[in-house]
Structure 1
Amino acid sequence: MRPFEYARAGEASEAVSLGGRFIAGGTNLLDLMKLQVETPDKLVDITRLPMRDIEATDDGGLRIGALVTNSDLAADKRVRDDYPVLSRALLAGASGQLRNKATTGGNLLQRTRCGYFYETSQPCNKREPGSGCGAIGGFNRIHAILGTSDKCIATHPSDMAVAMQALEASVETLKADGSTRTIPLIEFHRLPGDTPEIETVLEKGELITAVRLPKSLGGTQIYRKVRDRASYAFALVSVAAIVKMKGGEIEWARLAFGGLAHKPWRDTAVEDVLKGQAPSRALFDRAADALLAEAKGHGENDFKIPLARRTLVSVLAEATQGA
Structure 2
Amino acid sequence: MNRINQLASCSNHNNYINFWKFEMDKILLVIGLICSLSHSGFALVELNCSVANSKDGIFTFTIPTTSRIGDFNMFFVQQEITRLHPWAVTAMYNYLNNEHNISRIDNFRPYTCEGLNQTECGTTFRMTPEQQAYSGRTSFDRGHLQPSHPFTFERDANDKTFYCFNIAPQEPFTNQQPWSLVESREDLFSPTNVGYIVPNHYWKLVCYKDAAGVTQVVGFIGNNTLLRANDVAEQDARKASTYLPRSQQEIINTMNINRVHLFQEAWVGGETYLLEGRSEDRLPSADECTFKRDLSPEVRQEWATYIGGFSKLE
**TM-score category by the smaller chain?**
under 0.3
Structure 1 length-normalised TM: 0.24
Structure 2 length-normalised TM: 0.24
Higher relative contact order (CA closer than 8 Å, sequence separation 6+): 2
